[in-house]
A and B are shown apart, each in its own frame.
Chain A
Amino acid sequence: MNPAGGAGRFSFEAIGTGWHIDTPAELPTEVRAVVLNLIDEYDAVYSRFRPDSRIAVLAGGGSVDLPASGEALGGLYRTLHRLTGGAMSPLVGRSLEQLGYDAGYSFVPLGTAVPAAGWDDTFEWIRTTIRSEQPVTLDVGAAGKGQLVDLVSAALLEAGYPEHTVDAGGDMAHRGSSPLRIALEHPYTPESAIGVVTLDNRALCASGSNRRRWADGLHHVLDATTGQCVDTVVATWVLAADAMVADALATALFLVPPEVLLAEFDFDYVRVQSDGRAQFSTSLAGALF
C-alpha cells in the first residue's frame, strides 16, 4: 500500500478504533491536542460504554442537553427512523444490551431479543435536547463515528489544514486535490478486497455484520422493531458528501433497499447480501472485481 496523504500522518487510538489523519505537512502539537480533545468531548457526551457519559442519565429517564452537533445527529436519526419504518433507531441500545453487547462487553445474552422502545410521545429529540419519560439506552453508533470524523475534518480546516484525510478505522473523509483509491474489504476474507473505489472530496463509510460477532451468530446490526440481528445483508459501503450521512446510510442499507434512501439522500453505495450478490449504484460500475 502506498502511504498517500503526504508527509504528515497522525495515528492514534480513540473510541475503540485506530485513527489516521493525513495532512501534507505534519500537524503541530497544538492541533493534535485540539483533535484529541474534540474526540474526547464527543465520547464523553455520547458513549454507551461509559457510565459517566452525558446520555447515560437517560437510563433512568429524564432529559439531556447536547452540544451543537446533537441537532444534526437527531435530525438524521429522525429521518432514517421514518424511512426505515422504525427499524433504525437511536433507542436500539436496549436491544443490543439484551443480546449481550453491553457497556461491560459481557457478550452474554440476557434472553430473547427485545424490540427497542418506540420513538413515540414518551421520547423526543428536539434540536439539542433529548427527553425521555421512560428509561432508555441511547446508541448513536450508526452515525456518531461518522459525525466525529466530520467534526475532526472541520477542525482541521479551521486550523489551516484544508487538505486532509481523516480515517477512523475505515470510515473516512477526504478533502484535497489528490483523490484516494480505497479497497473495499471482502466481508468474509479480510485480507482481500471485492473492489476499489475512488474517494475524492467525499466521505466513505462501511458497515458489516461479519466481523463484530459473538455467541450464536449474534452481531451488532439490529432491526430496532424486533431487536433481532439483520442477516440478509452482510456488508455495505456508502459514499456521500459527509461522513455522518455516509455512516448512517451504511447501516440503513441493512434495513431497507437503496431506493428508499435515494428518495431523500444523494449517495453512492455497494450492498453485499448474505448470498454473495452485490448491488451497487451505476456510478460505481467497474468498481467491483
Chain B
Amino acid sequence: MTHTVKMPYQRWALTGIAALSLLGSAGCAASPTPAPGNGGAAGGDAADTAVPGGGSGDYANGTYSATGSYQTPGGEESIGVTVTLESGAVADVQTEPMPSNGTTELYQGKFSSGIKEQIVGTPLDELSVDKVSGSSLTSGGFSNAIEQIKSEAAQ
C-alpha cells in the first residue's frame, strides 16, 4: 500500500469515528429513561455510547443525512452519512461512499462500513431462508460433552 492511497482511508476513518461518537452521545443524552428492566434477549450495557453529564437536547425521531468532505492528494472527496433516530437513540447509521476518482472509490468502498446500535431478533420461523449460520450449530462434540457433564453433575 502506498502513501497516496492510504490517505483517503485514514482521513475517512477519523471523520467517521468523530461523527459516530458525537451522534452516539447525543442519542443517549436525549433518552430520558433508558427503559429499566429492558430484559431483551440482547441485553448488555451500551457502555460505549453512554456519556455521563447533562446533555439536554431533544432529538426528533427521523432520518438525518449529512455529507462530509475531505482533501485527498487526488482532490476533494465526499462521503454521506445517514442516521436514523428512534426514541431519542441512534437506531441506524449508514455511510454512502461518493468517490470521484478510482483510487478513492476502491478505498471508500472497501473500508466504509455500517453500524447498527442494537441488533434485533426475528424468529426463524417467520423467515424464509435456506439455512442458518451461527455458533450454536458449530460444535456438536462440545455441546454433547457439556450436556454429559450437566447430567453427571445432576446425579
A residues neighboring B (CB under 8 Å): 1-5, 13, 15-18, 49, 105, 107, 145, 165, 167, 169-172, 180-194, 196, 204-212, 214, 220, 235, 237, 258-259, 262-263, 266, 272, 274-282, 284-285, 288-289
Contacts and interface: CB of A to CB of B under 8 A. Distances in A.
B46 A275 contact: yes
Which secondary structure characterizes the binding site on chain B? mixed
Contacts of B116: 277-280, 288
Contact of B139 (A17, A272, A276, A284): A17
Interface bracket on B: 35 or more
Given A16-B140, A280-B116, 12 more contacts: A16-B144, A185-B137, A187-B134, A191-B124, A196-B129, A211-B138, A235-B134, A275-B46, A276-B119, A277-B118, A279-B114, A289-B121
Contacts of A13: 140
Interface in B12-54: 13, 41-49
Contact of A16 (B110, B127, B142): B142
B145 A186 contact: no
- Name the prevailing secondary structure of the A interface residues: mixed
A-B complex: 4 closest residue pairs judged by Cβ atoms: A185-B134, A208-B135, A16-B141, A192-B121
Contact of B41 (A2, A165, A188): A188
Contacts of B135: 170, 185, 187, 206-212, 235
B3 interface: no
B115 A279 contact: yes
10 contacts: A2-B128, A17-B140, A107-B145, A170-B132, A170-B135, A170-B138, A188-B41, A259-B9, A279-B116, A282-B95
